[in-house]
Amino acid sequence: MKLPAYELRRRLYIIFRGEEGLDYGGVSREWFFLLSHEVLNPMYCLFEYANKNNYSLQINPASYVNPDHLLYFKFIGRFIAMALYHGRFIYSGFTMPFYKRMLNKKLTMKDIESIDPEFYNSLVWIKDNNIDECGLEMWFSVDFEVLGQVIHHELKPLGDKERVTEANKEQYLQLVTQWRMTRGIEEQTSAFLDGFNEVVPLEWLKYFDERELELMLCGMQEVDVDDWQRNTIYRHYTRSSKQVLWFWQFVRQMDNEKRARLLQFVTGTCRVPVGGFAELMGSNGPQRFCIEKVGKDTWLPRSHTCFNRLDLPPYKSYEQLCEKLNYAIEETEGFGQE
């Protein structure tokens, strides 16, 4: 990894010590898979699972327990870029907000839901209620804990002295969202992106969205529709409801790439647990995929990735269902709007 970037972009020939064999692609695929499994292992405290029930990775704010952690992140950035450049897949994927950060896309309050649903719900409550009438004493500052140490942070200069009111709460929500998505990981993220950019310029990624970037790095699993359907529950629909039958007809006529995009839309990732759809995890533990009857037939489908739930309006025809679902999958980011 000390080689110049142009050397890392050359044709790879991987040899495992003590093993014979020519690398026609299979050996390098195994090398990227095994090394990514090792360097992304949360045991080393560089990365962590997004929450206790989420198997996507994010940077660990406590990574500084490794004195050379910034060098490690730069190394990992170069390694991940190598995998992308050479068309090889890594063992585990990152959170969607992390991919958006790689693409230099603005992070929104909605992005918090997949990594910290409780905090997200508290922000939604603030947004939906009149702060002045509630009598809450909130300030433009926050406290958070890392390795048992409570750290105080002002969201803006003199934030300790400025109270959050109904008039300024939008600014508070913007600032606290930015803080929550970057708290304690600014240097690590910068080191990772610096390393990545040395091998694959980040501007090359501008033609992709975060879902496509995940697919390029993690690959597409073969989506087992029978397993998916077996492990789906329904609310206000039944297995024999015509909209449900149309939905599974829609899924079965898709190619695997489109199914992966649909899976991203409804669960937040294109990855399926090793045990299949029966082991899907939500924000509160095991959470099977759910199709719920919600809204009017003029609405777009909504997804709630923390709960693996699809809000599917009662469309009047198969063609209408296909049109609305296709639009939601391709044009919206995780939460179809009415």
Integer Cα distance of 251 and 288 in angstroms = 17
**Residue 336's pLDDT is what?**
40
pLDDT tens-digit profile of 116-135?
889 999 999 999 999 988 88
5-105+185-218: CATH, from 3.40.190.10, 3.40.50.2300, 3.20.20.150, 3.90.1750.10? 3.90.1750.10
**Residue 245's pLDDT is what?**
98
Asked if domains 5-105+185-218 and 109-182 share a fold, the reply is no
Domain residue spans of the chain:
5-105+185-218, 109-182, 225-331
Architecture of domain 225-331: 2-Layer Sandwich (3.30)
All residue ranges of the chain with pLDDT < 70 are 1, 19-26, 52-54, 220, 274, 283-284, 332-338
**Residue 54's pLDDT is what?**
65
**Residue 75's pLDDT is what?**
96
Catalytic residue check, 134 = no
Q: Catalytic residue, from 218, 270, 290, 306: name it.
A: 306
**Residue 279's pLDDT is what?**
83
CATH code of the region 109-182 = 3.30.2160.10
**Residue 148's pLDDT is what?**
84
Taken in order 279, 101, 182, 68, the sign of the CA dihedral is positive
**Residue 23's pLDDT is what?**
55
Integer Cα distance of 220 and 50 in angstroms = 21
**Residue 335's pLDDT is what?**
40
Could you tell me the pTM of the whole model?
0.72
| Pairing of the two strands 289-293 and 281-282 | unpaired
pLDDT tens-digit profile of 253-268?
999 889 988 998 888 7
